[in-house]
Every structure is written in C-alpha cells, then in structure tokens.
Amino acid sequence: MLLLLFGPGLGTPFIVFKSNLFSMLMDRNPVIIYIGTAILGKVGGEITITETAVLGYLDANEFLQY
C-alpha cells in the first residue's frame, strides 16, 4: 500500500516539473521543437514500415520499397 501511494505522489510532481522545464527550453530555443518533430517522424515511419500489414503492400510495389 505504501508503494501505491509513494509512486504517484513522487512521480506526479516530477512530471509537472519536467514539463515546465521543457516548456521554458522550447520558448528559448524553438529548434528543440523541430528536433522532437523529426524524432517522432522517424520513429513513426519506422513503425509503419515494419508493420506486417504494410509489408504486403511494399512487396507489391518496387517504388514503395525504395
């Protein structure tokens, strides 16, 4: 029971503090937004390309394989 109360009690202020810190960093350095967007795009693209449902379409078209 102690861990059920301690975890959220410690984690919630930590998340709020870090999100405030990242918000201030993004205000000062807008390039951070573009870097984060590029990382999310890369990860999303990799997940889409490796999906088994998408692989059937990629095998059928040589241009999409490139």
CB 57 within 8 A of CB 64: yes
At residue 17's C-alpha, the angle toward residues 28 and 11, to 5°, is 150
CB 30 within 8 A of CB 23: no
What b/e readout covers 2-16, taking b as 16+ CB neighbours within 10 angstroms? eeeeeeeeeeeeeee
pLDDT value, residue 37: 96
Cβ atoms within 10 A of the Cβ of 47, count?
A: 10
pLDDT value, residue 59: 67
The pLDDT confidence band at residue 12, using thresholds 50, 70 and 90, is very high
pLDDT in tens, 44-55: 988 888 887 777
Q: Which residue has the higher pLDDT, 56 or 22?
A: 22
Enter the pTM of the model. 0.57
Average pLDDT on 17-34 reads 93
